[in-house]
A and B are shown apart, each in its own frame.
Chain A
Amino acid sequence: MQDTDHLLNRIAFGPRPGDVVRIQEVGFEKYFEQQLHPDRIEDNAAEARLANLNSLQMRTADLYDRYRPPRQARQLQMRPMFQNVPQQILQELQAQKVIRAVHSERQLQEVMTDFWFNHFNVFWGKNADRWLTTNYEMTAIRPHVLGKFKDLLGATAKSPAMLFYLDNHLSSSIKGINENYARELMELHTLGVDGGYTQKDVQEVARAFTGWSIDRPQVTGEFMFRPRMHDNGDKFILGHKVNAGGMRDGEAVIDILADHPSTARFISTKLVRRFVSDDPPANLVRHIGEVYRKTDGDIRDMMRAIVTSKEFQSRDAIAAKTKTPFEYVVSAIRSLDGTTDGSRPVVQAIARMGQPLYQCQPPVGYPDHGDHWMSNGAILERLNFAVALAGKNIPGTLVNFDEPVKAVVARLGSPEFQKR
């Protein structure tokens, strides 16, 4: 049996009214195949809703120029206005995430963007990351979310946002290495904590990435390789000798890590946990790991294998996942045929439930298991949101329904609606 509702709860942010019927007409397989190729889906209506979010398309240098750090603005005697403070960049970034999740026809692309950003988390609040995070999502994450894992990994490794967040831009053969990025690259991005690396590997990987830096982080904020900071000696990493020279050393490490069986297992585990259940079925993880190895880490192929698996379709998997605050809010708006401008009231509601968007400080990202999200305080915040949404008391977000308000509150507040 192919459960369209289930599919839309996993590869989309829940159904809008009429979606299930529409997709049954198109056909489950055909719809899913379309979703695997977001570039072939027309999405102008959703994109049009982003038109006023100027910062999304700006180069980092222009972001600095327009949204000055507060101290610099004072020195230049610029009048701080609410439109030109760095906080505005965050609000627009949050707004686009909510708008796209609610409105985009490319639902799987949005789900995958949410997944991969969280996997390669950066914290917006860390100094220069306030200006770097927008381009990080738009150029390092989004284009690769259904592509090859190695491309995604390489793009994040070269991204100024990540280089700044995990301090690699300072790592230097002259002054000394900084291990922060090297460790999280293996622990969180590729091999997993039990993936078989040692403290020595951490140091060697850090040496390989010396010189991967940023050209004037507070001015242009573009990637720059600094040969003088690079350690050109031999490195021994996970049994490989690395001496490709210069920037190629780091690229060689990315190849080693992306091709490593621990990475295949770790990425498969995380994908299956996200799309199937909090306790990923071992057989499916193994199978997806094989797909990873056979396809050179092709995310689209892994997703196809997950969604067509019997584990995905099984009764145990249906409604087995607890919605994150973001998923809860977006699916609630969608279920009421709603529209949103993604402005502060809706974003703050998500934060109060425990998931301030782009503001997860630790590099591990938000946890992907249900227990984490369902504290009694969080339940109350979900109920408060349900009441406000159904009562049409969320500025910037409109909903459409014929039922009595009370029935809507009861549905959105029910334990069943917390699940997907």
Chain B
Amino acid sequence: MAITRRYFLKSGGVALASFATTAPSFLTRTVFAQTDAGRGTDRPIIIAIFQRGAADGISMVVPFGDKNYSAVRPQIAIPEPARNATEGAIDLDGFFGLHPSLESLKPLFDAGQLAIVHAVGSPDNTRSHFDAQDYMESGAPGNKSVSDGWLNRYLQASPSPDATPFRAVALNATLPRSLSGSAPTVAMQRVTDFGIRSGQASPEIEAMFADVYKDTFDAVKKLRSVNPQQYGPASGVQYPNSAFGQTLLQVAQLVKSSVGLQVAFADVGGWDTHANQGAARGQLANRLKEFGDGISALYRDLGDRMRNVVILTMTEFGRAIRQNGSGGTDHGHASCLFVAGGPVKGGKVYGRWPGLALEQLHEGRDLALTTDFRAVFSDILTGHMGVKDVSKVFPGFRKTAPLEIV
């Protein structure tokens, strides 16, 4: 299925008729858009979203088909799809199901534009949030001497002569580790605030500092020339009313304004659910609703532009398989991640399932790891961003057989 869809996406709507009968209209627009060339938006884009705090993989994508699943989580398991129509997992393939709060991602999966990788993560055994985030962002698990981030090394490895200051942007007051390094990047919390806000005095202030902070003011000028704020959400698209929703809206504005964006980075926190994480409803469910609805809104808002965009989510590790004494979960090992976009061979849960029986668990307590996160990241860099050799981006990583997610 994935190959067929990829074929018609590339060749411009051959199989459109059969696709359109099952897919929502915003997805079919992706297919029409193949004729829409020469808009200057055709450079590939990656939108990375970091779920900080270690999101619980087996609650996001529920292995309801594993007979041990409900037993290890008496209060916080998500019910099987068949058992509970409203609070049950949303069946994907008879074995895995989406958390009900991720309902808005289901159409993407059905249309073959969302792939899931399960039992994925870092081969390093640390259960420290901060080390694990660091390793995932540096792209070098276990190696504390790598000082720059994997996305910055991508920029370094693929120099672009016509790159703008907005080639790589973090929607954040400070620059995340993933983007830090020698290649130029931009970090900003709000598109509207990125400049000197002194009314008539602004040009004078800008002139004062134009040489001292040259990169910054070059970026300010560029942003002003494309004016991303003019792009509102597409009709019918509503972003979550939250900081994360606002962040994704701004990512969309940057994409639409053709400012030269290739790498966008966003953070979303609140996943460290040691206590009262809830099941189909509750704390984690609320976070997932915002997360799923945000990605879905971004996807629909970008519409046909998604043909060149891959959204990649990540989290530093998963959570312990057994619930703890306070209705939550302690730090674990492998988790899951999402890859969405036009170039993605979706509609499938990738990765070997390691199982939840005691002897199958990592150190007797956590989901074992079957896919190194770098296998997924490098798949996207080669398949989507056109990087031929990822060894500079992921030093020391011995590439396994490609997953071919994109």
Contacts and interface: CB of A to CB of B under 8 A. Distances in A.
Interface stretch (B201-209, B255-263, B376-384, B398-406): B201-209
B274 A373 contact: no
Contacts of B198: 384, 387, 391
A384 B129 contact: no
Interface in B116-159: 126-131
A78 interface: no
B324 A177 contact: yes
Interface in A357-386: 361-362, 364, 371-373, 375-381, 383-384
Interface in B228-277: 269-270, 272, 274-275
Interface string B280-323: 00000000000000000000000000000000000000000001
Most chain B CB within a 10 A radius of its CB, from A180, A364, A391: A180
A36 interface: no
Contacts, number: 132
Contacts of B195: 380
A387 B187 CA distance: 21
Contacts of A406: 208
A380 B328 contact: no
B173 interface: yes
Interface string A179-223: 110010001100001000001001000000000000000000000
A170 B193 contact: no
Interface stretch (A142-150, A234-242, A407-415): A407-415
Contacts of A188: 130
Nearest to B53: A362
A137 B198 CA distance: 37
A179 B274 contact: yes
A250 interface: no
B113 interface: no
Contact of A380 (B130, B196, B208, B323): B196
B173 A376 contact: no
A377 B186 contact: yes
Given A180-B274, A375-B173, A387 B331 contact: no
A354 B209 contact: no
Contact of B174 (A175, A372, A414): A372
B175 interface: yes
Interface of B is mostly: loop
B215 interface: yes
A167 interface: yes
A226 B174 CA distance: 42
A353 B172 CA distance: 10
A383 B205 CA distance: 9
Contacts of A183: 127-128, 330-331
Nearest to A372: B174
B215 A179 contact: no
B170 to A, nearest CB: 8
A171 interface: yes
Given A175-B325, A175-B326, A409-B208, A376 B186 contact: yes
Contacts of A372: 174-175
5 contacts: A172-B325, A176-B324, A178-B274, A352-B193, A381-B173
The 8 closest A-B pairs by CB, nearest first: A176-B325, A354-B173, A375-B187, A377-B188, A170-B326, A175-B325, A376-B216, A180-B274
